[in-house]
Amino acid sequence: MLNNLAVNYEEAVAMILFGIGFCTLLFHRNLVKKIIGLNIMDTAVYLFLASMGYIEGRRSPIADPSVPASVSAFINPIPSGLVLTGIVVSVSVTAIMLALTIKLYKRYHTLNLDEIYMFAKNEDIG
């Protein structure tokens, strides 16, 4: 068990980071820290994917036209592709979260979600 963890230490670290990010996003009351949690969570997944796709001693999957391409020379390109897609997604989600946070801060002058909720509850908008 411990041996397995030591061999796959990158994946183990990724899982711990995912847990940290998930809990921060779920439990922290401060909106900016929630966003930080979100990014830790997403980055953990990218670390996991990247370390899974990497094969010791191989090159990045870019074919050199002068050398005949061989599968055994390259690492697995698909996880890298997934990481890139994932980064695009998480950038756009972070942007929306930040925009909403700015909007809420301008209106209620606090970043604490509980306090915002308290203020908003007293507004009657029908």
Partner 1 sequence: MMDFIQNFPFFSIVMSLFFAVLSSVLKPKFGEWLAVFSIALSTFFSLSVLFYTLTTGESFTYMMGHFPAPWGNEIRGGVLEGLAATVFDFVLLFSFLGGRSRRKEDIPEEKTKYYFVMINLIQAALLALVYTNDLFTGYVFIEICTLASCGLLMIRNVGRTTLATIRYLIFNLLGSGLFLIGISLLYDITGHLLMENIKTEVASIVSGGQYLQPLLVTVSLILIGLAIKSGLFPFHFWMPDTYGYATTSSAAILSGLVSKAYIFLGIKVIFRVIGFDVVASTHILNVLFIFGLAGIIVGSLSAIRENNINRMIAFSSAAQIGYIFVGIGTGTMAGMVAAIFQIFVHAVTKPMLFISASRLVDVSGGKKQFSYLQGSAHRNRLAGFAFTVGAMSMVGIPLFGGFAAKVAFATAAVGDSKRMIPTILVLAISTVLNTIYFLRTVMRIYMPAETAGNPVARSGNRWPFIFAVTGFAAVNILLGVCPGPVLDLIEKGLSMFG
Site of interaction with partner 1 (CB under 8 A): 18, 21-22, 25-26, 31, 34, 38, 41-42, 44-45, 48-49, 52, 78-79, 82, 85-86, 89, 92-93, 96-97, 100-101, 103-104, 107-108, 113, 116-117, 119-120, 123, 125-126
Q: Are 78 and 60 in contact, with CB atoms under 8 Å apart?
A: no
Write the CB contacts of 121 (distance below 8 Å, at least 6 apart in sequence): none
Q: Are 104 and 23 in contact, with CB atoms under 8 Å apart?
A: no
Q: What are phi and psi of 109, to 5 degrees?
A: 55, 35
The least CB distance from residue 34 to partner 1, in Å, is: 6
Distance CA 31, CA 106 (A): 13
The least CB distance from residue 86 to partner 1, in Å, is: 7
Cβ proximity to partner 1: between 59 and 77 the closer is 77
Cβ proximity to partner 1: between 59 and 103 the closer is 103
Cβ proximity to partner 1: between 34 and 66 the closer is 34
Task: Extract the tokens encoding 101.
Answer: 């946070």
Count of residues for the chain? 126
The least CB distance from residue 66 to partner 1, in Å, is: 25
Cβ proximity to partner 1: between 59 and 118 the closer is 118
